Amino acid sequence: MTARKRVVDVPRKRSAPDLREIRVRVMHDEDPDPSYLDQDEFEDRKEEFERGDFSFVGVRAEADVVIEGVVQTLTSAGLWGIESDSGEEYIEDTALEEYEGLRDILKAVGVSTSQVPVGDREMIRPLIKWEA
């Protein structure tokens, strides 16, 4: 009996994802739910909203990553329905939370943690892009 040669495919080595850019976008909320303003205790705030004194925004972290030669944009879940006049500190806190969510996603797809450091307020500020 002759031995049969066995052919086995060897998986090719994949290159590590290449992180190109990270940004945190503050965007106009196209579909806000201002129904809470209908409560009696929010009467003044509802008038401000109706006058256009504030609107609603969303905050989302995004990263452009090259995976297998294709640029992919990966995003955090985002937080929407934020009053636009909530204050810079609140927006920065939210941006940092979204960045950390994106960081977890990037680690899961194989981006080196050296490319995506643990965030803090000083680090996150220059990443915030106001579009609203």
Which tokens is 66 given? 């090259």
Asked whether residue 96 is assigned to any structural domain, the reply reads yes
Asked whether residue 111 is assigned to any structural domain, the reply reads yes
**What's the mean pLDDT when you consider all of the chain?**
92
43: containing domain = 18-130
Asked whether residue 63 is assigned to any structural domain, the reply reads yes
> Whole-prediction pTM value?
0.85
The predicted structure's pLDDT at residue 1 = 63
Query: Can you give the chain as a three-state secondary structure string?
Result: CCCCCCCCCCCCCCCCCEEEEEEEEEEECCCCCHHHHHCHHHHHHHHHHHHCCCCEEEEEEEEEEEECCEEEEEECCCEEEEECCCCHHHHHHHHHHHHHHHHHHHHHCCCCCCCCCCCCHHHHHHHEEECC
The predicted structure's pLDDT at residue 45 = 96
Asked whether residue 110 is assigned to any structural domain, the reply reads yes
Tell whether the model's pLDDT for residue 33 goes beyond 90: yes
Asked whether residue 4 is assigned to any structural domain, the reply reads no
Asked whether residue 12 is assigned to any structural domain, the reply reads no
Q: What is the pLDDT of residues 47-84, one digit of tens each?
A: 999 999 999 999 999 999 999 999 999 999 999 999 99
Asked whether residue 104 is assigned to any structural domain, the reply reads yes
Asked whether residue 9 is assigned to any structural domain, the reply reads no
Domain total in the chain:
1
